[in-house]
């Protein structure tokens, strides 16, 4: 029902499958009032809409027409339709004249694609007793809805809404309980008041404490989120669907949406974008129009801006530049900047979903970039890395650093106690923003060379790398710091060394270091033993193929310098690592297909290394650890374990004899 096509952070481009067609996500569902439909939203880009089943149920004329002709005919929309159960009216008026089972039966009767149980939306910042009481009813009704669907063999997809107000433990409890049910989608409810009051930091907490405890194989819907300025942030948190009547409600009030906020028509001297409306009309033209005509045109603009933003977000996910877009959007308002800064509290969770390599370079846009997954992952790798006795720390230069380093490296200061320098037993690293210390032997790996930062360093980034440098240096017997670093970071070092320091390039040492970083420490020695022959590109001089004699071990990917296994490389990696390291384990049904080189589907995976990320090179084995094949992961480990449909591994070669 839901498949992931591309990933970045927790954001995903996916396909939601319904009986009235497939929807590419992230997607916006414009709200259609069943009696007051103003414009044809499908004409302006809507693939899916949402309407209110309770309003139809309460209106005898609408109710009978929906029963006789169907919901899609009633609202003149032939694509997928989601219906709300009346929860919004319940939150506003305190009561509705319908039961949970009645609204479920009615939604099925009129042919809705995705129905919703009658949850209790609990406003933010209420008393805990109120939130607990409402949550108990919400969970009871969600269970009742799932049982109703099963007992009546209903095809309608079912929403189970996460509630819990602003109590994070209640959000977690609700998400865990709902995850045990067999629901099809998981909306996150009662967040509109947070957005209306600009409590975006609290919105991050509510969304993350819901989504972290929901399954990854379903779509998540942020209820009532319809302003384009929050879409990028919400998608990065893991939300797939949005709904709102903002496009028409704002138009009624002569307000135009944008990714930077909202414009009042009365204040506009210029139109804010290049959509058909903004290109054709001036603010004076709109102000001179009759109210209804003006409203419809502004609504068209609002839809255009919203759908354009979602297209941009999907493209950013394909490229791997979603966080750059999030950081850009969150600088549109101080409250959004608070939300961006709140993300660092969840960076360990984001790292589990973030691909190791991306098409787009890493752009440093401010101190918030220091807490991104790529930086956290690199620091974790460095802390795990076996240390040599000495450390030589160099200033940044042209990337890749190792390619442009030669000869005597300059003046060095002694950090800590002085000892006799042993260059053969020393790690050479560059100190740079945003990754801190970068070993020269792996500096071409993504994103250690594929990044850009301003030449004028901000104070936060300088303090960040200074702190990391000082903590990391404790692992070494002796540290030599280049004079430029001593001056830039104001380390206050005074004792210099007279020894001449040079960096000796070595292709095999470099390959071993990359293999250790990519597959685990010790894998380099196991992969690159024997008569190693390195073949380079005649055009670029970069390493391309690595052989033992004439037997191919690995290829090096030009775009990011990661190693691509061959059959021999897979055998060596398998022999040198313990189960389940670097492995995806398949059941007996899948064994013959893997041996034959066929792709591995998620439902056949029984276990996998928790450190696997999207696009990683992996070994495919059976439950006895027999090597069946090798390939590229299409999902992260946590998603492979969650999904029951779709491909998990794109197999390169099987070991069928």
Three-state SS for 450-482 is: CEECCCCCCHHHHHHHHHHHHHHHCCCCEEEEE
The answer to whether the beta carbons of residues 193 and 203 sit under 8 Å apart is: no
Q: Is residue 644 within 8 Å of residue 638, measured between CB atoms?
A: no
Average pLDDT over residues 304-325: 96
Continuous segment of H or E residues that includes residue 145: helix 128-151
* Count of beta carbons in the 10 Å neighbourhood of residue 275: 18
Q: Which residues of 237-261 are buried (b: 16+ CB within 10 A; e: fewer)?
A: bbbbbbbbebbbebbeebbbbbbee
pLDDT given at position 581: 95
Which letter does DSSP use for residue 385 in this model? S
Which one-letter DSSP state was computed for residue 408? B
Average pLDDT value over all residues in the chain: 92
Please report which confidence band the pLDDT of residue 410 belongs to, taking 50, 70 and 90 as the band edges: confident
Dihedral sign, Cα of residue 585, residue 590, residue 591, residue 595: negative
Percent of the chain clearing pLDDT 90 (strictly above): 79
Residue 26 · residue 11 · CB < 8 Å: yes
Residue in the block written with tokens 């946590």: 638
Q: Give the pLDDT mean for 635-653.
A: 90
Please pick, among 8, 84, 113, 134, the residue that the annotation labels catalytic: 84
What distance, in Å, lies between the first and last C-alpha atoms of the chain?
37
What does the pLDDT read at residue 92?
55
Of 181-185, 565-569, 643-647, the poorest mean pLDDT is in 643-647
- CA 605 to CA 597: how far, in whole Å? 16
Q: How confident is the model at residue 408, as a pLDDT?
A: 85
User: How is residue 340 annotated by DSSP?
Assistant: H
Residue 589: C-alpha distances to residues 197, 376, 470, 593 (Å): 54, 38, 52, 8
pLDDT tens, residue by residue, 212-231: 999 999 999 999 999 999 99
- 326's enclosing H/E stretch is helix 322-329
Per residue in 564-596, pLDDT tens? 999 999 999 999 999 999 999 999 999 999 999
pLDDT at residue 576 in the model: 94
Q: Are 553 and 527 in contact (CB under 8 A)?
A: yes
- Whether residue 433 is predicted with pLDDT greater than 60 in this model: the reply is yes
Q: How far apart are CA 252 and CA 248, in angstroms?
A: 6
**Torsion angle, alpha carbons of 610, 613, 615, 619, to 10:** -10
Residue 95 confidence (pLDDT): 60
The 8-class DSSP code of residue 345 comes to G
Query: Which residue matches tokens 């037997």?
Result: 551
**pLDDT tens profile 247-295:** 999 999 999 999 999 999 999 999 999 999 999 999 999 999 999 999 9
Cα–Cα distance list, 326 to 235, 377, 570 (Å)? 9, 20, 38
Question: Which is nearest to 131 in space by CA: 167, 176, 102, 95?
Answer: 167
CA distance 651 to 629: 7
Whole-number Å distance between alpha carbons of 553 and 592: 25
543-548 and 157-159 as β-strands: parallel, antiparallel, unpaired?
A: unpaired
The helix/strand/coil state of 140 is helix
More confident residue, 500 or 319: 319
Transcribe 59-122 into DSSP letters.
Answer: SHHHHHHHHHH-HHHHTT--S-EEEE-SHHHHHHHS--S--HHHHHHHHHHTT-SEEE----PP
Report the phi/psi class of residue 320: left, alpha or beta, with left for phi > 0 and alpha for psi in -120 to 50: left
The predicted model gives 128-157 an average pLDDT of 92
Distance CA 204, CA 206 (A): 6
Active site residue 516: no
Cis peptide before 358 (omega within 30 of 0): no
Query: In which band, very low, low, confident or very high, does the pLDDT at 89 lie, cut at 50, 70 and 90?
Result: low
Distance separating alpha carbons of residues 293 and 271, to the nearest angstrom: 17
Predicted local distance difference test score (pLDDT) of residue 96: 66
Most confident of 94-98, 338-342, 416-420: 338-342
Mean pLDDT of 83-88: 80
Domains in the chain and their CATH numbers?
Answer: 2-352 (3.20.20.105), 385-488 (no CATH), 506-575 (3.10.450.90), 578-657 (2.30.130.10)
Q: Is the predicted pLDDT of residue 49 greater than 60, yes or no?
A: yes
Q: What is the pLDDT of residue 90?
A: 58
Separation between Cα atoms, residue 553 and residue 533, nearest integer Å: 10
User: Residue 545's CB: how many other CB atoms inside 10 A?
Assistant: 16
């Amino acid at each position: 029902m839901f498949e992931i096509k591309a990933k970045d952070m927790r954001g995903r481009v996916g396909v939601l499958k319904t009986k009235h067609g497939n929807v590419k996500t992230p997607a916006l569902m414009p709200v259609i009032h069943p009696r007051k439909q103003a414009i044809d939203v499908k004409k302006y880009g809507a693939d899916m809409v949402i309407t209110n089943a309770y309003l139809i149920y309460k209106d005898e004329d609408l109710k009978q027409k929906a029963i006789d002709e169907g919901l899609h005919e009633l609202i003149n929309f032939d694509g997928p339709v989601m219906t709300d159960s009346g929860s919004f009216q319940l939150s506003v008026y305190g009561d509705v004249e319908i039961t949970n089972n009645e609204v479920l039966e009615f939604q099925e009767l009129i042919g809705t694609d995705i129905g919703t149980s009658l949850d209790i939306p609990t406003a933010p910042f209420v008393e805990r007793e109120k939130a607990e009481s409402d949550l108990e009813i919400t969970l009871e009704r969600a269970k009742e809805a799932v049982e109703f669907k099963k007992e009546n063999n209903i095809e309608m997809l079912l929403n189970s809404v996460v509630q819990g107000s602003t109590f994070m433990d209640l959000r977690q409890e609700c998400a865990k309980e709902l995850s045990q049910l067999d629901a099809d989608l998981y909306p996150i409810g009662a967040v509109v008041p947070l957005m209306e009051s600009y409590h975006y930091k609290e919105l991050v907490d509510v969304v993350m404490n819901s989504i972290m405890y929901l399954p990854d194989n379903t779509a998540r819907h942020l209820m009532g989120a319809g302003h384009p300025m929050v879409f990028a942030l919400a998608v990065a948190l893991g939300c797939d669907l949005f709904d709102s009547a903002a496009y028409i409600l704002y138009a009624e009030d002569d307000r135009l949406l944008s990714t930077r906020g909202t414009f009042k028509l009365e204040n506009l001297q210029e139109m804010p974008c290049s959509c058909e409306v903004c290109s054709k009309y001036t603010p004076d033209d709109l102000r001179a129009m009759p109210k209804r005509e003006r409203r419809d045109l502004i609504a068209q603009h609002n839809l255009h801006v919203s759908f354009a933003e979602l297209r941009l977000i999907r493209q950013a996910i394909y490229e791997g530049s979603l966080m750059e877009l999030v950081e850009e959007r969150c600088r549109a308002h101080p409250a959004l900047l608070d939300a961006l800064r709140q993300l660092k509290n969840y960076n360990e969770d984001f790292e589990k979903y973030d691909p190791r390599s991306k098409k787009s370079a890493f752009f440093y846009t401010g101190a918030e970039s220091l807490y991104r997954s790529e930086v956290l992952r690199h620091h974790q790798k460095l802390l795990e890395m076996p240390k040599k006795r000495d450390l030589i720390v160099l200033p940044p230069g042209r990337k890749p650093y190792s390619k442009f380093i030669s000869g005597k490296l300059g003046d060095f200061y002694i950090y800590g106690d002085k000892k006799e320098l042993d260059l053969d037993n020393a790690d050479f690293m560059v100190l740079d923003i945003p990754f801190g210390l970068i070993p020269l032997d792996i500096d071409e790996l993504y994103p250690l060379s594929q990044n850009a930062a301003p030449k004028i360093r901000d104070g936060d980034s300088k303090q960040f790398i200074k702190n990391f440098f000082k903590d990391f240096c404790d692992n070494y017997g002796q540290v030599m710091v280049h004079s430029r670093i001593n001056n830039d970071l104001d380390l206050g070092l005074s004792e210099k060394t007279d020894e001449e320091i040079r960096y000796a390039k070595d292709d095999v040492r470099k390959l071993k270091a990359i293999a250790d970083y990519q597959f685990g420490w010790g894998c380099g020695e196991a992969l690159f033993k024997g008569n190693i022959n390195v073949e380079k590109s005649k055009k670029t001089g970069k390493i391309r193929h690595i052989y033992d004699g004439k037997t191919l071990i690995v290829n090096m990917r030009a775009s990011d310098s990661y190693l691509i296994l061959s059959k021999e490389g897979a055998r060596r990696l398998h022999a040198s690592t313990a189960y389940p390291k670097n492995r995806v384990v398949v059941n007996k049904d899948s064994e013959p297909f893997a041996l034959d080189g066929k792709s591995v589907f998620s439902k056949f995976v029984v276990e996998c290394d928790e450190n696997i990320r999207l696009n990683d090179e992996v070994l495919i084995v059976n439950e006895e650890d027999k090597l069946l094949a090798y390939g590229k992961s299409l999902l992260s480990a946590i998603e492979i374990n969650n999904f029951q449909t779709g491909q998990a591994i794109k197999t390169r070669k099987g070991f069928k004899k």
